Amino acid sequence: MGESIRLGRIAGIAVGVNWSVLIIATLIALGLGVGGLPQLHPGHPEALYLVTGVLTAGLFLGSILAHELAHAIVARRRGVEVEGIVLWLLGGVAKFRSEARTPRDEIAIAAAGPAMSLIAAAVFGIASGASALLVGEAMSTTVLGWLGVLNLLLTAFNLIPAAPLDGGRILRGVLWARRGDPASAAASAARGGKGFGIALIALGLLLVVGMVALDGLWLMLLGWFIVTAAGAEEFHASLRGVRVRDVMTRAPVVAPDWLTLQEVVDQYVLTQRCSTFPLRGFDGRISGLLPLAAVKRVPSEQRATQRARDVACPIDRVATGHPDEELTELLQRVRGTCGEGRALVFDAAGELVGIVSPRDVGRARELHTLRQPQRNADDPPTSGGQRADEAEPTGTP
């Protein structure tokens, strides 16, 4: 889930929000300001109810942000590169650019979020109790108590052992420590997540049929998200142990960045079996990446005057990697970058040696799956992937 607005940085970690967070914030604010609080505490001005509802929604989103910050801070302390945090419709996501190095790190990072939510539940619960002693059954008592209960439920839900929930990541760490195989552990946790998500969808459907439409739709949406995210994690797990050099297309065709788009079409697009071209500047360095889709977006009558470098993805916005690193780490960096999901591969001397496309990744997964023998959970870990000499000979499909 991408961010729509960047809020800034907290403890050096980028924080953003997706527009969909407005939906949950509005539902909370109106649910309390129009429905819940006027019924429980009648006799106050309508504006006070709405303001209280908005403040409560803000505090709830703040507790979710604290949950994700706990993940991110612990991850950074344990050597995991943190991309940032995004709040959205169904909560928040802490995005990482690298993997946990050990099972202990995996468990610590995953457990940090529920621990923070549990602390928030305790703080709100104590504050609600103090408010009850000082002012009785006032709106502040109700709101603080509601926030405490909600954070407690958030803790319990996140500890369900199903990826991508925190409990699923804890399970992954435990299985990793037991089996010695992070890929097998991640796949098991992901399968549990898919099963749990399907169960939520089924329960939501039953509620919709039983005329509890809103609750049912929320459960179906949540279940769909969990199934989708678990499927992505299962795909990611299937590539554990595969190196970039095993999947990259070697010796990609490079075009000069000073050519016009029409010259690129005539000299490269029509003569090469490639859909993306790295560009090289006058200084001999790779300056960007030109997908065929970017060329198509320029009207044909303008291609004779438009330079390739003017529409290409600049190199600082293109994901780059090293042949010897794990493919999963490179894929973490591809997210949110320019280049239609592609990455450029450079050797230790800074020379371009390959390019990785979504098709390369999909083929690598299929080959990796075919080469994996059927084995028991306690068997020693194995690794495999696409041989370097099996990559496409030139360019990017």
Q: Please say which residue of 191, 208, 237 terminates a domain.
A: 237
Asked whether residue 212 falls in the same domain as residue 299, the answer is: no
Angle, alpha carbons 193-196-198 (nearest 5°)? 110
Asked whether residue 282 falls in the same domain as residue 361, the answer is: yes
- Mean pLDDT, rounded, for 265-276: 89
Which pLDDT belongs to residue 368? 63
164 within a domain of the structure (yes/no): no
- Convert the chain into a string of H (helix), E (strand) and C (coil): CCCCEEEEEECCEEEEECCCHHHHHHHHHHHHHHHHHHHHCCCCCHHHHHHHHHHHHHHHHHHHHHHHHHHHHHHHHCCCCEEEEEEECCEEEEEECCCCCCHHHHHHHHHHHHHHHHHHHHHHHHHHHHHHHHHCCCHHHHHHHHHHHHHHHHHHHHCCCCCCCHHHHHHHHHHHHHHCCHHHHHHHHHHHHHHHHHHHHHHHHHHHHCCCHHHHHHHHHHHHHHHHHHHHHHHHHCCCCCEHHHHCEECCCCEECCCEHHHHHHHHHCCCCCCEEEEECCCCCEEEEEEHHHHHCCCHHHCCCCEHHHHCEEHHHEEEECCCCEHHHHHHHHCCCEEEEEEEEECCCCCEEEEECHHHHHHHHHHHHHHCCCCCCCCCCCCCCCCHHHCCCCCCC
Asked whether residue 150 falls in the same domain as residue 189, the answer is: no
Structure tokens given for 312: 């290409």
273 within a domain of the structure (yes/no): yes
Q: Predicted confidence band at 188 (pLDDT cuts at 50, 70, 90)? A: very high
Q: Please say which residue of 216, 237, 258 terminates a domain.
A: 237
- Mean pLDDT, rounded, for 11-17: 93
Q: Predicted confidence band at 240 (pLDDT cuts at 50, 70, 90)? A: confident
Which pLDDT belongs to residue 236? 78
Q: Predicted confidence band at 235 (pLDDT cuts at 50, 70, 90)? A: confident
Which pLDDT belongs to residue 287? 94
Asked whether residue 178 falls in the same domain as residue 260, the answer is: no
Q: Please determine, for residue 378, whether its predicted confidence score (pLDDT) is greater than 70.
A: no
168 within a domain of the structure (yes/no): no
Q: Predicted confidence band at 392 (pLDDT cuts at 50, 70, 90)? A: very low
Asked whether residue 144 falls in the same domain as residue 268, the answer is: no
Q: Please say which residue of 98, 125, 159 terminates a domain.
A: 159
Give the domain range for residue 75: 5-159
396 within a domain of the structure (yes/no): no
Asked whether residue 26 falls in the same domain as residue 55, the answer is: yes
Q: Please determine, for residue 105, whether its predicted confidence score (pLDDT) is greater than 90.
A: yes
166 within a domain of the structure (yes/no): no
Which pLDDT belongs to residue 324? 92
pTM, two decimal places? 0.75
Asked whether residue 265 falls in the same domain as residue 379, the answer is: yes
Asked whether residue 136 falls in the same domain as residue 251, the answer is: no
Which tens digits make up the pLDDT trace of 46-57?
999 999 999 999
Q: Please determine, for residue 197, whether its predicted confidence score (pLDDT) is greater than 70.
A: yes
Asked whether residue 88 falls in the same domain as residue 217, the answer is: no
Q: How many domains does the chain have?
A: 3
Asked whether residue 248 falls in the same domain as residue 232, the answer is: no
Q: Which of 4-8, 37-41, 309-313, 321-325 has the lowest mean pLDDT?
A: 4-8
Which pLDDT belongs to residue 394? 29
Asked whether residue 144 falls in the same domain as residue 188, the answer is: no
Question: What is the CATH number for 323?
Answer: 3.10.580.10
Asked whether residue 275 falls in the same domain as residue 378, the answer is: yes
261 within a domain of the structure (yes/no): yes
Q: Which residues are known catalytic residues?
A: 68
